[in-house]
Amino acid sequence: MPDGNAICVVGGGLNGAAAALALAEAGWPVVLVDRHKPKPSPSALGVEIRNVALSPASRAFLEDIGAWVAGAPYVRMHVWESLGTASLDFHASETGRAELGWIVEVGALIERLWARIESHPRVQVRFGSVDGLEVHDSGVTLRVDGEAVSCALLVAADGAASPVRNLTATRDARYPTGHAALVTAVRTERPHEAVAYQRFLPGGPLALLPSRLPDVSSVVWSQPPALASSRVEASKEAFLADLTCASGRVLGQVLETDARFAFPLVQHLAQSFVAAPRVLLIGDAARVVHPLAGLGVNLGFEDAQALLATLPVSGDPGLADWRTFARKRQARARAMLRVMSALRLLYGSDSPWLGWVRNVGVRTVSESRGLKSQIMREAMGLGPMATSMR
Ligand SMILES: Cc1cc2nc3c(=O)[nH]c(=O)nc-3n(C[C@H](O)[C@H](O)[C@H](O)COP(=O)(O)OP(=O)(O)OC[C@H]3O[C@@H](n4cnc5c(N)ncnc54)[C@H](O)[C@@H]3O)c2cc1C
């Protein structure tokens, strides 16, 4: 191990770790390379600050590879805005399911994935930094801290700043968001009752996501970077009052907060998901969509499934038709980026005309059961668009 047909996965974050495990489960010898094992983030209120909303499709994928961990289910999503009157409610029951999805703590999931990987007979883990690569007709040679690692196919899941994408000089289009994300966890006066809240404010959307503790929700607050920094630095009391007001007191008063972090939100899309012959990009290395969509990991898991569906049953994994894989995955990313641009245009302005368009649009969706159910099924990874592109 590894043999000549090994697949090398660079990056052991959620997307790379899940792809590596799925490939090994399918019978491929895998080399997973990362600088280090991922670490959990703080959790002073009993739940980890870093979490992801996972769809039913993602849950099914994780169950298939034996890596599902219990998350906090959300059964309803309430979307409303501070400037208008229209609001939208998505109930899981409208799609015939018990949950819309689960809010899963990243630390618990990554620990489960790594425990499976480290004990898997077909995975070899290499710690070190990728600092070079050469593509040959029959394979790829990676440089990991200067040492050569050979494989037949390289899957780069090395994050938004992807060194592999840069080493292959793959062009990358940037889509500004004008936002930074402030993330934390908060204890609230009223229980969340398994409801995810999304409120559009003039500065950007605020999400309150239920955790497995009844009175603790996660906060993802997108806003102009200077405002996010000042809210990170504000006194705890000032921040709690600010968030209580911004959330429209939907969960009553915000009583307690964990540490606050802010980081810039950049959307991007790699020009090709086949960065070079035998070199594929997946997860955030391939694209990053605004977290409002709650899609990053869900799209990365779709990439892993598309990868598996494209691979030959055996033989040289580099010889599959990777152009079809790239075309489908890129089309899916483009569609999501377009939705985000439209939302930015609609909600990022206080023009009365756009306010009217928003209200009419929201009412149309709310009153059309078919359209609403279609939107929900796509968001859950179960609609025709999501399924045909993986
Ligand atoms: C505020 C916020 C909220 C979000 N909410 C959601 C959500 O609700 N649902 C959802 O699906 N997604 C969500 N996302 C997106 C999600 O967090 C990301 O899409 C996901 O974590 C990216 O995973 P990844 O494995 O692709 O990359 P990363 O997690 O960035 O992992 C990259 C790995 O590559 C390694 N690496 C990098 N360079 C090298 C090198 N030179 N050599 C070796 N290894 C290297 C790193 O050490 C790292 O372990 C959110 C994102 C943000 C910012």
Cβ–Cβ < 8 Å for 236, 244: no
What CA–CA distance (Å, rounded) separates 247 from 243?
6
pLDDT at 346 over 70: no
Q: What is the pTM of this model?
A: 0.93
What residue ranges define each of the domains in the chain, with the CATH number in brackets?
A: 7-173+266-388 (3.50.50.60)
Question: Which tens digit of pLDDT belongs to each residue from 291-301?
Answer: 887 888 999 99
CA of 371 to the centre of ligand 1 (A): 32
Query: 123 to each of 1, 3, 23, 33, 219, how far by Cα in Å?
Result: 8, 11, 9, 10, 36
Q: Calculate the CA 384 to chain-centre distance.
A: 20
Task: Supply the residue whose CA is at minimum distance from atom 12 of ligand 1.
Answer: 296
| Nearest-atom index, ligand 1, CA of 55 | 11
Is the distance from the beta carbon of residue 143 to the nearest atom of ligand 1 less than 6 Å? no
Is the distance from the beta carbon of residue 284 to the nearest atom of ligand 1 less than 6 Å? yes
Which residue is listed with tokens 């409120």?
Answer: 199
What CA–CA distance (Å, rounded) separates 153 from 208?
40
pLDDT at 2 over 60: no
Q: Tokens representing 34?
A: 């990362």
Per-residue model confidence (pLDDT) at position 372: 63
Per-residue model confidence (pLDDT) at position 195: 97
Per-residue model confidence (pLDDT) at position 384: 72
Cβ–Cβ < 8 Å for 381, 389: no
Is the distance from the beta carbon of residue 204 to the nearest atom of ligand 1 less than 6 Å? no
pLDDT at 349 over 90: no
pLDDT at 368 over 90: no
What CA–CA distance (Å, rounded) separates 279 from 301?
18
pLDDT at 1 over 70: no
What CA–CA distance (Å, rounded) separates 28 from 273?
21
Q: What confidence tier does 342 reach under pLDDT thresholds 50, 70, 90? A: confident
Question: Which tens digit of pLDDT belongs to each residue from 373-387?
Answer: 677 677 777 777 777
pLDDT at 359 over 70: no
The residue whose CB lies within 8 Å of the most ligand 1 atoms, and thus the one to mutate among 143, 182, 297, is 297
Question: Which tens digit of pLDDT belongs to each residue from 21-36?
Answer: 999 999 999 999 999 9
What does the CA dihedral 85, 102, 365, 390 come to, rounded to 10 degrees? 140
Least confident of 39-48, 248-257, 316-325: 39-48
As a whole number, mean pLDDT of residues 35-48 equals 90
Specify the DSSP class assigned to residue 293.
G
Question: Which tens digit of pLDDT belongs to each residue from 147-161?
Answer: 999 999 999 999 999
CA of 13 to the centre of ligand 1 (A): 6
* Neighbouring C-alpha atoms within 13 Å toward the C-beta of 358: 25
Based on DSSP, count helices (H) and strands (E) in the chain, helices before strands.
Answer: 11, 21
User: Which of the pair, 340 or 106, is modelled with greater confidence?
Assistant: 106
**Amino acid (1-letter code) at residue 219:** V
| Nearest-atom index, ligand 1, CA of 36 | 47
| Nearest-atom index, ligand 1, CA of 284 | 26
- CB-count exposure of residue 136 (10 Å: 0-12, 13-18, 19+): exposed
3-state secondary structure string across 58-116: HHHHHHHCCCCCCCEEECEEEEEECCCCCEEEEEHHHHCCCCCEEEEEHHHHHHHHHHH
pLDDT at 186 over 90: yes
What CA–CA distance (Å, rounded) separates 113 from 157?
15
Q: How many CB atoms lie within 10 A of CB 147?
A: 10
What CA–CA distance (Å, rounded) separates 223 from 71?
27
Q: State whether residue 208 is helix, strand or coil.
A: strand
Per-residue model confidence (pLDDT) at position 166: 97
Strands 7-10 and 153-156: parallel
Per-residue model confidence (pLDDT) at position 5: 86
Question: Which tens digit of pLDDT belongs to each residue from 298-336?
Answer: 999 999 999 999 999 889 999 899 999 999 999 999 988
pLDDT mean across residues, the chain? 91
Query: pLDDT over 90 for what percent of the chain?
Result: 73
Per-residue model confidence (pLDDT) at position 351: 63
pLDDT at 248 over 80: yes
Cβ–Cβ < 8 Å for 83, 89: no
Question: Which tens digit of pLDDT belongs to each residue from 69-123?
Answer: 999 999 999 999 887 777 888 899 888 899 999 999 999 999 999 999 999 999 9
Is the distance from the beta carbon of residue 295 to the nearest atom of ligand 1 less than 6 Å? yes
Paired residues of 187 in beta bridges: 216, 256
Cβ–Cβ < 8 Å for 319, 191: no
Per-residue model confidence (pLDDT) at position 284: 97
Question: Which tens digit of pLDDT belongs to each residue from 198-239?
Answer: 998 988 899 999 999 999 999 999 999 999 999 999 999 999
Paired residues of 195 in beta bridges: 76
Is the distance from the beta carbon of residue 71 to the nearest atom of ligand 1 less than 6 Å? no
* Cα Rg, the chain, nearest whole Å: 21
Per-residue model confidence (pLDDT) at position 383: 73
Is the distance from the beta carbon of residue 167 to the nearest atom of ligand 1 less than 6 Å? no
Is the distance from the beta carbon of residue 300 to the nearest atom of ligand 1 less than 6 Å? yes
What CA–CA distance (Å, rounded) separates 318 from 315?
9
User: Which of the pair, 176 or 100, is modelled with greater confidence?
Assistant: 100
**Amino acid (1-letter code) at residue 38:** P
Q: What confidence tier does 3 reach under pLDDT thresholds 50, 70, 90? A: low
Paired residues of 104 in beta bridges: 52
